[in-house]
Structure 1
Amino acid sequence: MTDKLDKVPAGASPAPAGVPPEAIKAIPVRHYGRWVAGVVVVALLALLGYAFSQGNVRWATVPEKLFDSTILSGLWHTILISVASMALGLVLGVLFAVMRLSKNPVTSSVAWLYIWVFRGTPVYVQLLIWFSLALIFPVFNIGFYKDEMTDVMTPFLAALLGLGLNEGAYMAEIVRAGIQSVDEGQTEASHALGMSQAKTMRRVVLPQSMRVIIPPTGNEFINMLKTSSLVVAVQYPDLLRAAQDIASTSFAVMEMFFVASIWYLILTSVFSVGQFYLERHYARGSLRSLPPTPWQKIKSNLLSLRSDQSGGAA
């Protein structure tokens, strides 16, 4: 066997025996583009803030009315109608997605018609139709129950049907895509074990499809929070309606719109964080490394800035 000799670069003297080699000093790359982009963004934000500060806005009214009892009541009604409508949409979405994938031509056609109608018409128009249903049916009569339609179709029920049925059409397509993402071999293996179609869907297909269903469902719920502001058309006392009521008496119209916008931002931010952790939970079986949490992202960005500063000082 021949001894392996370390190659020494030409013109360099070999290190004495027993002396460890000099440690390599790594110099971090300087990202000048990051600093330029940061300065530009800060300058634009400063210009925007200066423009609003010169406007005729009573800024003291915004924090004063932020926790007003009327605003908090409207906030609660907004959360209530959003959660209830999303729950109705989820139930209808699963039901009509299964019907759409059925081999029965009647059920699949009915599901397709439902999706086509409620996805093809604006949700604002649907809300007005439900609220004005008394113009077509003055009396609600189903045999064992009879009452005036104006008493039955309350603002809450009109908002729930308008938002929930519209959301169900979108959720049906999301759930259908999730179901079709599961390999057919899973269904065939379940049937070979003697499981029924319903049990296969409930125990095998739907749990595996959650990884595909959860991300767009979270986006749909956040969109539902903002779309719920349309229920002002059916006189439902949501957050926007509460802001408008205060604006009509205090004449602080823009200020109350800012108050409503702040609360919408808070709601969407809170639910966005919940959506992130829910997606992270269902991604454990499909990703080698889970995406970093918001705190981990902040920590890595701070470390990156520190390394840039140390590199510039060097």
Structure 2
Amino acid sequence: MNYNWNWGVLWQSTGVGSELYWHWLLKGFGWLLVVGGSAWVIALVVGFVLGVMRTLPSKLAQNIAATYVNIFRNAPLLIQLFIWFYVVPTLLPDGVRAWWFSLSFNTTAVMSASIGLGLFTAARITEQVRTGIESLPKGQANAGFALGFTTAQTYRYVLLPQAFRVILPPMSSELTNCFKNASVASLVGVAELISQTKTISEYTQNNFEVYTFTTVLYLVFNLALILGMTALEKKLRIKGQISGQGGAT
């Protein structure tokens, strides 16, 4: 195979001012953090609200949350991003639409990708929250009501703190998936990590090296997220409860 290996490719000049290729990769990683982080915040807020709604006595609340989950979880993520980027802006009120299209292309792409990915991930978190709450003994809720708590107080002080500990392990995987799925944002114009990697590989033709660097960057970042979530899980773990490490002492 006639291939010119060059592991120092990222330290070569791009030809644009004093920028090196690793600067482009770092910029792409920065946009990945923006899209993934924004989407994760949206997913947590919407997911927890809908997850609680799925366990309320109200059939209306259950049906609204279930409908959301069925739509957003079963429609392909890429289709949802395209809808948020190409379709939704045209349906906005005139004033909002004018403001939207006055923004830069990358800004609107980042906002659309963050909203689309956030709402997609929220559907998955909704089910995890529902499962976590339903896994608790029914006596927990009854005890809250017996103490005179309202429904909101029972969820706030009794159910959600315990359910949160239950769903932390699957949420670790969901967190890494959220940032990995952020790579799809490149298809609506976000200059994130994958987009920059493709550009660098096309400019340099050192495909193997460039994609290897990007893969290592993803691995290191996702492992750091997992370690952080694992540390949080251990910190919040109640000994003898939901730990799987023996009974209480």
TM-score under structure 1 length normalisation: 0.68
Q: 2:33 matched to which residue of 1? A: 79
For residue 238 of structure 2, give the secondary structure of its aligned residue in structure 1.
coil
Q: 1:102 matched to which residue of 2? A: 56
Q: 2:5 matched to which residue of 1? A: 58
Q: 2:185 matched to which residue of 1? A: 231
1:150 deviation in Å?
3.8
Pair 1:199-2:153 in alignment: yes
Contact 1:96 1:111 in 2 (8 A): yes
Contact 2:10 2:210 in 1 (8 A): no
For residue 103 of structure 1, give the secondary structure of its aligned residue in structure 2.
coil
Summarize the Cα distance change of 1:138–1:88 in structure 2 as closer, same or farther, 3 Å threshold: closer
Contact 2:84 2:116 in 1 (8 A): yes
Summarize the Cα distance change of 1:209–1:57 in structure 2 as closer, same or farther, 3 Å threshold: farther
Residue among 58, 78, 90 paired with 1:138: 90
User: Aligned equivalents of 1:110 and 1:145: distance in 2?
Assistant: 27
Which one-letter code corresponds to 2:150 in the other structure?
A: S
- 1:62-87 per-residue CA deviation (whole Å, 9 max, x = no partner) reads 56379811111111111221121111
After TM superposition, list the pairs within 5 Å mapping 1:99-248 onto structure 2.
Answer: 99-133=53-87, 138=90, 140-141=92-93, 145-147=96-98, 150-151=101-102, 154-248=108-202
For residue 169 of structure 2, give the secondary structure of its aligned residue in structure 1.
helix
Structure label with greater radius of gyration: 1
Which one-letter code corresponds to 1:261 in the other structure?
A: T
Same amino acid, percent of matched pairs: 27
Runs of 5+ unmatched residues, structure 2: 13-19
Contact 2:6 2:206 in 1 (8 A): no
Pair 1:282-2:236 in alignment: yes
Q: 2:17 matched to which residue of 1? A: none
User: Aligned equivalents of 2:97 and 2:27: distance in 1?
Assistant: 32
User: Aligned equivalents of 1:195 and 1:202: distance in 2?
Assistant: 10
User: Aligned equivalents of 1:139 and 1:275: distance in 2?
Assistant: 39
Summarize the Cα distance change of 1:63–1:269 in structure 2 as closer, same or farther, 3 Å threshold: farther
1:57 deviation in Å?
5.5
1:259 deviation in Å?
1.9
User: Aligned equivalents of 1:67 and 1:284: distance in 2?
Assistant: 47
User: Aligned equivalents of 2:29 and 2:148: distance in 1?
Assistant: 49
Calculate the aligned-residue CA RMSD, in Å. Answer: 2.5
Which one-letter code corresponds to 2:3 in the other structure?
A: N
Contact 1:140 1:148 in 2 (8 A): no
Summarize the Cα distance change of 1:55–1:168 in structure 2 as closer, same or farther, 3 Å threshold: farther
User: Aligned equivalents of 2:2 and 2:234: distance in 1?
Assistant: 43
User: Aligned equivalents of 2:72 and 2:65: distance in 1?
Assistant: 11
Summarize the Cα distance change of 1:122–1:221 in structure 2 as closer, same or farther, 3 Å threshold: same
Which one-letter code corresponds to 1:141 in the other structure?
A: P
- 1:249-288 per-residue CA deviation (whole Å, 9 max, x = no partner) reads 2232333222211110111111121122122223332248
Summarize the Cα distance change of 1:254–1:187 in structure 2 as closer, same or farther, 3 Å threshold: same
Which one-letter code corresponds to 2:26 in the other structure?
A: L
Contact 1:62 1:259 in 2 (8 A): no
Q: 1:91 matched to which residue of 2? A: 45
Which one-letter code corresponds to 1:58 in the other structure?
A: W
User: Aligned equivalents of 1:199 and 1:77: distance in 2?
Assistant: 38
Contact 1:84 1:160 in 2 (8 A): yes
Which one-letter code corresponds to 2:27 in the other structure?
A: S
Contact 2:9 2:21 in 1 (8 A): no
**Per chain length, whose mean CA-contact separation is higher, i.e. which structure has more relative contact order (CA < 8 Å, sep 6+)?**
2
Summarize the Cα distance change of 1:163–1:139 in structure 2 as closer, same or farther, 3 Å threshold: closer
